[in-house]
Amino acid sequence: MNRIKIVNDKIELLECDHSLEVSLKEKNDNYLVNSIKLIINKDTELDIEYDIVISSKLDLFINVKKDVNVSIYEHTIGDYLKIQYKYYLEENSICNIYKTSNLKGTKEYTIVNLNGNNSNVKRVIKTVSSGAEQYDMMVYHNAKNTVSNLINEGVNIDNGNLSFNVSSFVSKDNSGCTVDQNNRIINLTNNECLIKPNMYIDCFDVTANHSAFVGAFKDIELFYLQSRSIPYQEALKLLINGFLISNLPSKMQDDFKVVAEQYWR
């Protein structure tokens, strides 16, 4: 398992083997933001921990080489983070990204370039939003038979204001692509939350699906649990925990349950 710990906008801990190349370009007069570049050369797993002590900005570039299968596990906690991701996937590469977030606020801009035939990306975002959080995501299917599966889910609480703006692009020459977007916000406040699921598809030979939901849990879900003698607050906590850990690998579920315990005891 490769591991990177980022404190604010710098690498504090780096444990990696030959499957991964890591470089840091620090900000100067020409580059106003620290940038980290990752080149993934062989099948591997990567754990990235962000500890944002003070408000920070960061650029992250990830290049997944041909025929490589990588799983990336991201854990983000702390203050406000403004971050830009750029992914580049080559032929037959597979990139699975699982991200949990517990920040005071964030503005995230993500571009995924599926540049090689049969490249495949899956990205799961789970967040507890107690401040302003905006996620802008764009996926470009630049080759044939490429696959994208985006799952964006969050619980909005306190002063939270959560938005997902998701766009997928397929040009007319790139047939055989699969495009999936699943977006859901459980809003436990009266604050405005927003989902914009966009698909720009110029090819007929494409499978495309998207869903978007903003609202509370269904009354029937809470009623069912209460009918089993579970008090309302405990029923709500069970639903929130289930929602937050769904679609996450088992190795991340316990850690995110601890985060949920901070808000729902």
Give the mean pLDDT per block of 10 residues along the chain (265 residues).
93 94 81 90 97 95 98 96 97 98 96 98 96 97 98 96 98 96 96 96 95 92 88 89 92 83 75
> Whole-model pTM?
0.94
pLDDT at 258: 80
pLDDT at 197: 95
Residues in Cβ contact with 192 at an 8 Å cutoff, skipping those fewer than 6 apart: 161
Where on the phi/psi map is residue 32: left (φ > 0), alpha (ψ -120 to 50), or beta?
alpha
What count of other Cβ atoms lies within 10 Å of the Cβ of residue 149?
A: 18
Of 155, 151, 107, nearest in space to 129 by CA: 155
Separation of alpha carbons 197 and 60, rounded Å: 24
Tokens of 71: 């799983």
Separation of alpha carbons 153 and 187, rounded Å: 11
Domain ranges of the chain: 53-216, 219-265
The DSSP code for 234 is H
**DSSP H or E segment with residue 96:** strand 94-114
Measured CA to CA in angstroms, residue 67 lies from 118, 119, 134, 256 at distances of: 10, 9, 33, 31
pLDDT at 28: 65
pLDDT at 243: 92
The DSSP code for 17 is -
Residue 87, classified by CB atoms within 10 Å of its CB into exposed (0-12), middle (13-18) or buried (19+), is buried
